Amino acid sequence: MGTIRTLFAACFLACLAWPSGAWARHDPAQDWRELATGHFLFIYPGAHAQAAARAAAWAERIYPEAKRLFGYAPPGLTPIVLAADSDLAGGYAQTIYRKIEVSLTAPENKFFGPRDQEWLAQVLRHEYAHLCHGMRCEGLTAALAAVFGEVNGGNLVAPRWWVEGLAVYAETELSETGGRGRSPWRDLELAANLLSDGPWTMGQLDNDPLWAYPADRVYVAGYDLIKALESTAPAPDLIARLSGRQSAWPLFGLLDTWPAVTGRSAYEVWREVSNRRTAEFRARLGEDRPAIARAAVAAEDSRAFFSQPKWTSHGGLVAYRQSQGEDSALVSIDPSGAIRTAGRPDLPVSRYDYEPGQDAFVYARLAMDPVYTSAFTADLYQWTGGREKRLTRNARAWSPALASDGRLACVVNEFGATRIGLVDLGSGRVDLLPGPQGANYASPAWSPDGRQLAASVRLSGRQDICLVDTATGRLEALTNWDEAGDFNPAWSPDGRRIFFVSDRGGTYQVFAWDIAERRLWQVTRAWLGAFDPVVSPDGEQLAFAEYRPGNIQRIVTAPLDPAAWQAWDVPQPGTQPLAEPEYDLPPAAGPGYSAWPHLAPTYWMPMVGSDADGLLWGAASGRQDPLGMHAWWAQVLYQPASGQVYGNASYTNLELPVILTPRVFREARSRYGRPGERGSGELFWYRAAGAGLQAQLPLVLQMATDRLTSLNVGAEIEAFSLASETAALFPAPDSWQWSGSAGFFSGMQHARDPFPVSGVLGSIHYHSAGPQQAFDGRAVAWNGEVYFPSGIPGHAWKVGARGLNQRGIFPDAFSGPAPLGWSGGVFNAGQVMTLSASYRLPLAHVDNGVGLLPVFFQSLWLEGLAEQGAGWEGGLSWPQWQERKRTSLGGACHLDTRWFWYLPGQISAAFVYQTPQPGWWFGLSLDLGAGVLSGQGSR
């Protein structure tokens, strides 16, 4: 989901630090069932058994096609989860615990081509292509899989344009008419980039952009790269050979694969693609020109994407703005061109409508379930005078359309198809209109008199503008279900014409349909494309959104001049398409879902550890069921010098809101200093065997376009016994301890900020070692940070404090928080606190990689910092703080990165001056999330 950026979410995850399987959980209260076919195991809610039957039929048809294309298909049954809890369309595939997950929600926007016969079939093609390519077993990968089990997912550790481009290629080539490769929208995005002043480099194609349009560039460019390679190295099994070579030599990636199979490098092919496609676009589209005679630009920004203009009662406009410089917002555009924010609804989805008389916006936005965070529900809201009013509850409604008499229509998600709904504003009840099976509706619009409703309807690979009978749901297609893709209908004030967008001329242009005369006209001739037409209340002006080079969009107005329009032949009458035959299948009748058969291990991996006698050698394995409700992990380690065997095993239950994890262990542990000592540099090893229980309650309290609020509360208890030969180091051979923690984060991160610019983060952790005669320790560790803007856009202050208070004797060692560059000394005292302040300023949004190598650079920013800390025993006095304080003053430079195309990281260099013992300290670190590699020095 593009509205919450990866870096912003990373702050949240770092604060909560819950088990990976806890994220995006499904509600176990749904009647989950399963259906086995020849090659797949479908897991679905019982209420959507008919969708499961359709998906099963399509998947078995896709299986031989995908296997032939890639030369491989995963053996056994591949689990496919059909989710019906989110109003966001999408899907994903994973290899380590092999499965596919697909949302049954159909997309409303033009991201997927209007000629797609069925969304669910297309997403299954796409995701299964990922598994057939990603899990291909040849050469080295086959050898590793034979030894370690199902760990063969190395082909997905590759540039994103290659991974996603192959899936787009599959969804296109394996369908008769659909797929994004055939979508004019994808072609438009590529043209808008190649015809811009800064076309993509090979390094930019490696990853999804955070601060540039379009967000889906890896899909856009990847397909063309693969098609170009196919045309220069034609072979019926080219994709299979490429996948096989990549799998046989996974460590060399595409640096080896393309030259070895085709004799050509990806860099060379991309240069050819860029040059050839640029020439094609210039020849086909011509030169830049006005979209319509006497056109005037009403709103334009080189970093903004404007859409959905609406006329106000005073001759101005409102629109929706997505910006690289500011947060997404509803904005008003004065006739003078001045733009001001009119409202910022949280996580808006799809289209909105506007009532000029009340200056009121009606839109849909998403709400996420705080516990089962895979669930996003769309409801309708009204924004008037800076206040938001909720109109529906759990309606799964979007794209509202207001009638002149106050009635409200919308699109309702039915998980597989969509329907037109009529909203009772008093009760919030939504009554659904009947419609043909498999139909997907979009962008409804009322006629000026409120008697007719127009909508874009997609049905079996055809998409037309239809008049929808609000009593019977009967459809009357304006252009007779021809092959063109039509959407975004808007009425003229006299009700005589319907303006809409169509790709019937090869590019997206505004067309007009004369209802009485049944005549069709082309209104615009935009260079790249025109969208979202709307006629002024006096019928004299047309406003629309024009797509521009650089993948931005501006708002344009022009006088309506029918004499300048180009007449088009009206398509011959055609019959309404029938639903796909799969809609007539009987509902699936599978048994209830059980997680336990899915928990058998499918892989193992070598593990290394250490104890007092040196290195430990062993193995580990684990499993999670496809719904993510149960998981386990176990490892065994052996010490060859002493013959000692260690191990641990844990099980996690994620069905309840509280996540429970019991575990058992026999481990080698170490600590600095004997129990009760602080500041000792001597390392002691001991062996402990016991059991523990952890409980966590992670909650997402708010997820908005620019704000995230989360809370995680946890507790853990552990009891263990010491091995007899190491028990002499401790006061007693047995111990138990417990801990509790709470983490809270609430922060705001604007569109181009690499860090939160306002908000608060806090955590507290309490640890108790008893009380017992042997161990009576108590420790409280805490941390607090506050972010606030500096007054300069994108810049921010951060102030914080962290501390540790410990008393008594523990079986474990604790270290206190110290200023940068300091450790030990006073920071091994009973009470420790460090205060910090920093100023953060972004330098550049790099948005580039190094081609086919596995590192991508995202943003570069500086941090000026000051930290002061001290440790003390007993009560704190100001003279004691002055005597023991340590100070660091300096700065750091941070480069936010992404490694191996999926793993976020940060490269940092810090340089500080230390007092009261004058000296300089510098350090380098690479943080890859799982750990930090660092080096430091001082003088």
What pLDDT sits at residue 682?
77
Kindly report, residue by residue over 449-505, the tens digit of the pLDDT.
999 999 999 998 899 999 999 999 999 999 999 989 999 999 999 999 999 999 999
* Size of the chain, expressed as the number of residues it contains: 939
With a cut of 80, say whether residue 376 has pLDDT above it.
Answer: yes
With a cut of 70, say whether residue 562 has pLDDT above it.
Answer: yes
Averaged pLDDT for residues 216-234: 88
Cα separation, 733 vs 887, in Å, equals 41
- Percent of the chain whose predicted confidence (pLDDT) is above 90: 66
DSSP 315-351: S-EEEEEEESSS--EEEEE-TT--EEEEE--SSEEEE
Averaged pLDDT for residues 843-848: 92
Report, in angstroms and rounded to the nearest whole number, the Rg of the chain calculated over CA atoms: 31
Three-state DSSP at 598 gives helix
Cα separation, 447 vs 494, in Å, equals 9
User: 284: which residues sit within 8 A by CB, 6+ positions away?
Assistant: 506
Averaged pLDDT for residues 821-838: 91
DSSP 164-180: HHHHHHHHHHTSSS-SG
Burial class (CB in 10 A: 0-12, 13-18, 19+), 882: exposed
What pLDDT sits at residue 704?
79
Cα separation, 682 vs 110, in Å, equals 65
Cα separation, 74 vs 602, in Å, equals 13
With a cut of 90, say whether residue 426 has pLDDT above it.
Answer: no
Sign of CA dihedral 175, 177, 179, 182: positive
What pLDDT sits at residue 78?
97
* Number of neighbouring beta carbons within 10 Å of residue 38: 9
- Percent of the chain whose predicted confidence (pLDDT) is above 70: 94
Reported confidence tier of residue 936, pLDDT bands at 50, 70, 90: low
The better pLDDT of the pair 821, 117 is held by 821
Question: Looking at residue 770, what DSSP letter applies?
Answer: -
Say what the alpha-carbon torsion angle 200, 203, 206, 207 is, to the nearest 10 degrees. -70
CA separation (Å) from 632 to 13, 61, 625, 651? 21, 34, 9, 4
Kindly report, residue by residue over 876-899, the tens digit of the pLDDT.
888 889 989 999 999 999 999 999
With a cut of 50, say whether residue 134 has pLDDT above it.
Answer: yes
Is the distance from CB of 357 to CB of 313 less than 8 angstroms?
yes
Largest CA distance in the chain: 99
Averaged pLDDT for residues 709-716: 95
* Nearest alpha-carbon partner for 632 in 130, 21, 9, 101: 21
What pLDDT sits at residue 109?
66
Kindly report, residue by residue over 502-556, the tens digit of the pLDDT.
999 999 999 999 999 999 999 999 999 999 999 999 999 999 999 999 999 999 9
CA separation (Å) from 599 to 29, 374, 594, 632, 636? 20, 22, 10, 8, 18
Question: Looking at residue 188, what DSSP letter applies?
Answer: H
Is the distance from CB of 477 to CB of 468 less than 8 angstroms?
no
The values of phi and psi at residue 922, to 5°, are -135, 150
Cα separation, 344 vs 362, in Å, equals 12
Averaged pLDDT for residues 27-51: 95
What pLDDT sits at residue 10?
32
The better pLDDT of the pair 175, 811 is held by 175
Amino acid identity, position 59: A
| 315: enclosing H helix or E strand | none
What pLDDT sits at residue 554?
97
The values of phi and psi at residue 749, to 5°, are -135, 115
Question: Looking at residue 603, what DSSP letter applies?
Answer: B
With a cut of 60, say whether residue 6 has pLDDT above it.
Answer: no
Cα separation, 442 vs 501, in Å, equals 13
* Number of neighbouring beta carbons within 10 Å of residue 503: 24
Kindly report, residue by residue over 784-813, the tens digit of the pLDDT.
999 999 989 889 999 999 999 988 877 777
User: Terminal CA-to-CA distance of the chain, rounded, Å?
Assistant: 47
Is the distance from CB of 372 to CB of 27 less than 8 angstroms?
yes
Please state whether beta strands 78-83 and 99-103 pair in parallel, antiparallel, or not at all (unpaired): parallel
Averaged pLDDT for residues 355-382: 91
What pLDDT sits at residue 575?
87
With a cut of 70, say whether residue 138 has pLDDT above it.
Answer: yes
The better pLDDT of the pair 559, 734 is held by 559
User: 303: which residues sit within 8 A by CB, 6+ positions away?
Assistant: 323, 324, 325, 552
What pLDDT sits at residue 597?
94
With a cut of 50, say whether residue 96 has pLDDT above it.
Answer: yes
With a cut of 70, say whether residue 932 has pLDDT above it.
Answer: no
- Give the full edge-to-edge strand order of the sheet including 462-468: 440-446, 453-459, 462-468, 475-477
With a cut of 80, say whether residue 629 has pLDDT above it.
Answer: yes
Whole-structure pTM value: 0.93
Is the distance from CB of 358 to CB of 376 less than 8 angstroms?
no
* Number of neighbouring beta carbons within 10 Å of residue 594: 11
With a cut of 90, say whether residue 910 has pLDDT above it.
Answer: yes
Written as six digits, the tokens of 675 are: 């129990």
With a cut of 50, say whether residue 815 has pLDDT above it.
Answer: yes
Amino acid identity, position 78: T
The better pLDDT of the pair 393, 678 is held by 393
User: 366: which residues sit within 8 A by CB, 6+ positions away?
Assistant: 87, 88, 346, 347, 348, 349, 376, 377, 378
With a cut of 50, say whether residue 393 has pLDDT above it.
Answer: yes
* Number of neighbouring beta carbons within 10 Å of residue 686: 21
How high does pLDDT run on average in the chain?
89
* Nearest alpha-carbon partner for 228 in 277, 289, 278, 292: 277
Kindly report, residue by residue over 276-320, the tens digit of the pLDDT.
999 999 999 999 999 999 999 999 998 899 999 999 988 899 999
Looking at 667-671, 717-721, 741-745, which range is the least confident one?
667-671
What pLDDT sits at residue 112?
57
With a cut of 50, say whether residue 22 has pLDDT above it.
Answer: no
CA separation (Å) from 513 to 310, 347, 491, 494, 806? 20, 34, 10, 13, 77
Amino acid identity, position 250: P
What pLDDT sits at residue 2?
36
